[in-house]
């Protein structure tokens, strides 16, 4: 007898009593909105984002993907604040893919900075329409009515609830958005407050819908054996053996596309079955024989060593230049040079990619843990030969994303298989699939040479890099970084050095390259932040003081006059200037909170690094201990200036997460390739930091600012690795110019 029972996450919570426990129902505390993941609005629409029911429930569309950042809370709380809604009467609805919303691409740390003002306008517009409806009901002048606390009040004290006004308000004309008066900062009720996330109850009680939770009647499950190397082709496979496995329904070959790979499905052989176990077991019987193609001999170790040799031995393409760097280096009182290397990295979200497709009635419906519903819509439509409006994309919650789930190849797989099977199909990626067939974060090699004058001031800066570009997934011939990528901490150093030259070398890609949380800021900030520390010690100066002196006077930087077309993360320098005063302030404010100048016990050291990324300014200070060859990170402190903050709790959460994410990469993050194939496969050889590897103290300081909102989800990551490396030097006198650090120490 088979006594094994399948226990779902929901059933586990029920059996353990957690589903009814007040301990986990923190989301039930006063001030929490209602949450709904897959519903569509039921109320009367006032605008694209806001509907109101006659019961008074305000439905607000969250058109961005929720992957732990709290964006399904933060954007609605902006709307609710401007429309004077009671947060307890707000229901958040996850938006479908819809170009009318504007960009739904939830990456680049831009959800708040791109939609803060728009969401304020949507809330203010809804409030205006409610007020107009009340004025008409009372035959009153609009100046005599005002919304407050989920009602509209007349000056004489009469009031109507939002629910009573819902139908009439929906019939009002939408006001001109620029004509609306938005709230003053001192009147904010929710903006700037740590509102609990709307999904908390559902997360704690197992009611949330992630990609793997989607169920459709008569659905099949697919497990795919994909090419282990870029552009590999399946020569043969044992279809008969796979079909002998109980529960297996079919075997379908997916043809790979020619380069560039873009978001297309990889070459693979899919086993379709009535349950995941049968699909995976059937896949094990396929015995696929591969022609690994042009990249079969690729070896990442020799490739990265080759990049390092290239950047350290000869000039590249000049990307930015000021003064005469060669002459200044020759005349320097002291000069030093160093080469840094960074490995390939995987995203490794806790939830691997998952997608379900159902083709029916002339449309294709997709349910996916996607960061990019519109890109999913476009790519699936192209793969199936449909118009975009024939593809309906439902966004589930994401168990982490980090940029991986902004590439919709897994949704394309589900759509192709649903078409082949004539039934709904859910594609299941295993952890091994996710790490083996990732859009990998690129490796990098960087060379620096710096000159110091007799006062120890920075007089010359030469920097070269070679990094396979993300552009290669869209243009197979792309093999050198562009200005947009160099604008991520490498080409845009803020130092007031009179002589400077930034160069790039070619570095062709040998696998799918993609953006990972903080993108090129990760390797570039590691090189820049580490070399600044080396220069400080060569100058005999405190690293903090050397950073501040090298940045120089408060000013707004531009780079075009020096040859670099700075994209500024897609925003104008008028709205988001590169402000050296704010850059210095995070360094000063953070180090002032710590015993930065205190002499530490032998084997311990402080390390500092800072970076501007995604329009935010971040400094990180780490304390480490090295004892008997073992590296321990004891403390991590960070300061962030991200402009106006909507939800401080979410900023703290994301910065703390960034510290752990950066720590994991710095200590243990590395993907290697042999014979064109990723060697690592799961958390045993591509680990994330465990509790015993994390600091006892992690603190975030959010600096108050009235500037426009900047990014938060990614800026905390880049300074982590260099701050740890610099702390290691302070503790041991040993320079580490390559991560992960477990190559040198046990961790």
Predicted confidence at residue 12, as pLDDT, reads: 36
- Residue 118's SS3 state is helix
- CATH 3.30.365.10 spans which residues of the chain? 44-184+196-205, 220-294+353-428, 300-346+440-743
Residues in Cβ contact with 149 at an 8 Å cutoff, skipping those fewer than 6 apart: 84, 86
- CA–CA distances in Å: residue 544 to residues 414, 527, 642: 52, 17, 21
Predicted confidence at residue 32, as pLDDT, reads: 59
pLDDT for residue 563 is more than 70? yes
- Radius of gyration for the chain, computed over Cα atoms and rounded to the nearest angstrom: 27
With residue 698 as reference, give the H or E element that holds it: strand 697-702
224, β-bridge pairs? 270
338, β-bridge pairs? 448
CATH number for region 220-294+353-428: 3.30.365.10
* 43 in Cβ contact with 49 (< 8 Å): no
Among 649, 403, 358, which residue's Cα sits nearest to residue 521? Answer: 403
DSSP string, 312-377: HHS--EEEEEES-HHHHHHH-SEEEEEEEEE-BB----SS--EEEEEEETTEEEEEE--S-HHHHH
Tens of pLDDT, residues 265-318: 999 999 999 999 999 999 999 999 999 999 999 999 999 999 999 999 999 999
Tens of pLDDT, residues 552-561: 999 999 999 9
504, β-bridge pairs? 317, 465
DSSP string, 187-250: G-SSTTS-PPPTTHHHHHHT---BGGG---TT-EEEEEEE-SSTT-EEEE--HHHHHTSTTEEE
Predicted confidence at residue 662, as pLDDT, reads: 99
Q: At the top level of CATH, which class does the domain 300-346+440-743 belong to?
A: alpha beta
CA atoms within 13 A on the CB side of 1: 2
Average pLDDT score, the chain:
94
Taking residues 66-80, report their average pLDDT.
97
Tens of pLDDT, residues 463-483: 999 999 999 999 999 999 999
Tens of pLDDT, residues 346-376: 999 999 999 999 999 999 999 999 999 999 9
Predicted confidence at residue 3, as pLDDT, reads: 34
Taking residues 617-642, report their average pLDDT.
99
Taking residues 513-518, report their average pLDDT.
98
Alpha carbons 210 and 395: distance in angstroms, whole number: 9
Q: Nearest 5 degrees, angle CA 25-CA 26-CA 27? A: 90
Looking at domain 44-184+196-205, which of 3.30.365.10, 3.60.20.10, 3.40.50.720, 3.40.1280.10 is its CATH number?
Answer: 3.30.365.10
Alpha carbons 489 and 444: distance in angstroms, whole number: 13
- Tell me the two tokens of residue 43: 């109320």
Predicted confidence at residue 43, as pLDDT, reads: 85
Which pLDDT band, with edges at 50, 70 and 90, does 39 fall under? low
Dihedral (Cα; 146, 149, 153, 156), 10-degree rounding: -110
Which pLDDT band, with edges at 50, 70 and 90, does 34 fall under? low
* 499 in Cβ contact with 460 (< 8 Å): yes
Residue tagged 């279809």 (tokens): 239
- Residue 529's SS3 state is helix
Predicted confidence at residue 10, as pLDDT, reads: 45
- pTM strictly above 0.75: yes
Taking residues 389-407, report their average pLDDT.
97
Alpha carbons 151 and 84: distance in angstroms, whole number: 8
Alpha carbons 530 and 466: distance in angstroms, whole number: 17
Predicted confidence at residue 13, as pLDDT, reads: 40
Strands 363-368, 289-291: pairing is unpaired
Taking residues 116-121, report their average pLDDT.
98
Predicted confidence at residue 198, as pLDDT, reads: 94
- Omega before 740 within 30 of 0, i.e. cis: yes
Residues listed for the chain: 747
Predicted confidence at residue 243, as pLDDT, reads: 99
Taking residues 606-626, report their average pLDDT.
99
- Tell me the two tokens of residue 513: 């390259």
Alpha carbons 83 and 62: distance in angstroms, whole number: 16
Burial of 719 (0-12, 13-18, 19+ CB in 10 A): buried
- Burial readout 177-194 (b: 16 or more C-beta within 10 A, e: otherwise): eeebeebeeeeebbbbbe
Among 599, 442, 421, 615, which residue's Cα sits nearest to residue 516? Answer: 442
* 642 in Cβ contact with 712 (< 8 Å): yes
Predicted confidence at residue 38, as pLDDT, reads: 47
- Residue 146's SS3 state is strand
- Tell me the two tokens of residue 724: 């740890």
């Amino acid at each position: 007898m088979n006594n094994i029972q399948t226990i779902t996450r929901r059933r586990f919570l029920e059996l353990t009593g957690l589903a009814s426990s007040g301990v986990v129902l923190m989301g039930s505390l006063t001030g929490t909105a209602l949450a709904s993941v897959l519903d569509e609005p039921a109320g009367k629409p006032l605008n694209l984002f806001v509907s109101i029911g006659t019961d008074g429930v305000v439905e607000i569309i969250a058109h961005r993907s929720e992957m732990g950042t709290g964006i399904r809370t933060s954007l609605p709380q902006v709307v609710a604040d401007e429309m004077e809604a009671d947060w307890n009467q707000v229901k958040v609805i996850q938006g479908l893919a819809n170009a009318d919303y504007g960009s739904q691409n939830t990456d680049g740390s831009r959800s708040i900075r791109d939609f803060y003002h728009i969401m304020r306008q949507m809330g203010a517009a809804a409030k205006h329409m409610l007020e107009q409806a009340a004025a008409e009901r009372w035959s009153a002048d609009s100046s005599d009515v005002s919304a407050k606390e989920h009602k509209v009040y007349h000056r004489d004290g009469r009031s109507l609830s939002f629910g009573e006004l819902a139908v009439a308000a929906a019939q009002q004309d939408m006001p001109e958005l620029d004509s609306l008066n938005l709230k003053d900062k001192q009147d904010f009720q929710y903006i700037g407050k740590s509102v609990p996330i709307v999904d908390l109850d559902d997360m704690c009680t197992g009611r949330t819908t992630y990609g793997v939770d989607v169920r459709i009647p008569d659905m099949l499950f697919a497990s795919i054996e994909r090419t282990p190397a870029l552009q590999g082709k399946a020569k043969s496979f044992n279809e008969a053996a796979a079909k002998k496995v109980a529960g297996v329904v079919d075997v379908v070959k997916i043809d790979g596309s020619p380069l560039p790979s873009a978001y297309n499905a990889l070459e693979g052989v899919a086993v379709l079955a009535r349950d995941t176990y049968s699909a995976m077991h059937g896949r094990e019987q396929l015995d696929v024989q591969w022609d690994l193609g042009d990249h079969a001999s690729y070896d990442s170790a020799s490739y990265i060593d080759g990049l390092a040799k290239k950047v350290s031995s000869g000039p590249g393409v000049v990307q930015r230049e000021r003064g005469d760097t060669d002459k200044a280096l020759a005349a320097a009182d002291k000069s030093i040079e160093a080469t840094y290397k960074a490995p390939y990295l995987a995203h490794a979200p806790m939830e691997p990619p998952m997608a379900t497709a159902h083709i029916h009635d002339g449309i294709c419906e997709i349910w996916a843990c996607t960061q990019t519903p519109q890109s999913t819509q476009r790519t699936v439509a192209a793969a199936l030969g449909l118009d975009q409006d024939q593809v309906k994309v439902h966004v589930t919650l994401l168990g982490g994303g980090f940029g991986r789930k902004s590439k919709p190849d897994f949704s394309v797989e589900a759509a192709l298989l649903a078409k082949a099977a004539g039934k709904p199909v859910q594609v299941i990626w295993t952890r091994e699939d996710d790490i083996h067939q990732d859009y990998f974060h690129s490796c990098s090699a960087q060379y620096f040479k710096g000159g110091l004058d007799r006062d120890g001031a920075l007089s010359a800066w030469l920097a070269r890099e070679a990094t396979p570009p993300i552009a290669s997934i869209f243009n197979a011939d792309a093999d050198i970084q562009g200005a947009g990528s160099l604008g991520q901490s490498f080409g845009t150093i803020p130092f007031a050095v009179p002589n400077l030259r930034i160069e790039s070398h070619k570095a062709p890609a040998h696998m799918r390259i993609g953006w990972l949380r903080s993108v090129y800021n990760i390797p570039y900030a590691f090189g820049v932040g580490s070399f600044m520390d080396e220069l400080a010690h060569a100058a005999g100066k405190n690293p903090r003081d050397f950073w501040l002196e090298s940045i120089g006077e408060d000013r707004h930087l531009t780079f075009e006059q020096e040859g670099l077309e700075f994209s500024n993360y897609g925003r104008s320098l008028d709205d988001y200037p590169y402000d050296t005063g704010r850059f210095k302030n995070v360094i000063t404010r953070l180090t002032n909170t710590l015993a930065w100048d205190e002499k530490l016990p032998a084997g311990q050291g402080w390390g500092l690094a800072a970076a501007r990324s995604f329009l935010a300014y971040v400094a990180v200070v780490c304390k480490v201990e090295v004892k008997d060859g073992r590296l321990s990170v004891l403390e991590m402190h960070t300061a962030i200036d991200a402009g106006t903050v909507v939800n401080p709790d979410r900023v703290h959460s994301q910065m703390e997460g960034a510290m752990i994410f950066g720590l994991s990469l710095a200590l243990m993050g590395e993907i290697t390739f042999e014979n064109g194939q990723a060697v690592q496969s799961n958390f045993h050889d591509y680990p994330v930091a465990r509790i015993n590897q994390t600091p006892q103290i992690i603190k975030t300081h959010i600096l108050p600012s009235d500037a426009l909102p900047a990014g938060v989800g990614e800026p905390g990551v880049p300074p982590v690795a260099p701050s740890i490396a610099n702390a290691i030097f302070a503790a041991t006198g040993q320079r580490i110019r390559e991560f992960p650090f477990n190559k040198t120490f046990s961790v």
